[in-house]
Amino acid sequence: MSSYAPLLAMCVLLFFQTQFVIAMACGAIAVLSVVVMYLYLRLARQLAGVPTRIVEAHSRDEEVMSYIVTYILPFIAVAFGQWQQQVALLVFFLLVAFLYIKLNLIHINPTLLLFGYRVYEATLDDGTTFNLIAKGRTTRGSTHPLMHVDEDIVLETRA
């Protein structure tokens, strides 16, 4: 949900005067998702990670720009004046959310970038490939303390 926080913040601005309840719901979801992500990352980074050598690492940051198109298109194409346009926009957002989850697009999250995290496609020393969420730059041959977050996501910890 945190990947949608900037979009939800834009919805607050767009709907504030005409659809106050919708605007407040969007704002609450945006704030809650960012707070939960922040707390999760802060707590998870405190855990002891297993020192792991990164054999290969490729930044996934450039894919964020293509994701930004999903922000721009709805605001250009839809006037938001009628309820049908608002429902169409909601269906579009739900479709994007469905694809985001099904395709495991963790690496396309502008909120992670805002918090100083970068996402890499990293091949570890055991030959497996993961999405690595790291606080700084990761290079080939570097060793980082990592913990598994999901079956294909690892997080760099501090210890």
Q: How much is the pLDDT for 75?
A: 60
Those residues with Cβ within 8 angstroms of residue 25's Cβ, 6 or more apart along the chain or in another chain? none
- 84 pLDDT band, cuts 50/70/90, is confident
Query: Using CA atoms, how far apart are residues 29 and 123, in angstroms rounded to an integer?
Result: 34
Q: What is the pTM of this model?
A: 0.71
Using the predicted structure, report yes or no on whether residue 5 has a pLDDT greater than 70: yes
Per-residue buried b or exposed e for 65-97, using 16+ beta carbons within 10 Å of the residue's own CB: eebeebeeebeeebebeeeeebeebeeebeebe
CA–CA separation, 81 and 71 (whole Å):
18
DSSP E strand boundaries for the chain? 50-59, 118-124, 129-134, 143-150, 153-156
Q: Shortest CA distance to 121 belongs to which of 70, 77, 56?
A: 56
Q: What is the pLDDT of residue 127?
A: 87
Is the pLDDT at 72 greater than 70, yes or no?
no
pLDDT of residue 70 exceeding 80, the answer is: no
Q: Where does the pLDDT of residue 110 fall: very low under 50, low under 70, confident under 90, or very high at 90 and above? A: confident
- Write the pLDDT tens digit of every residue in 21-35: 988 999 999 999 999
Residues with Cβ within 8 Å of 110's Cβ and at least 6 positions away in sequence, in order, are 3, 6, 64, 67, 68
pLDDT band at residue 46 under the 50/70/90 scheme: confident
Task: Note the pLDDT tens digit of each residue in 130-139.
Answer: 888 888 777 7
pLDDT of residue 2: 83
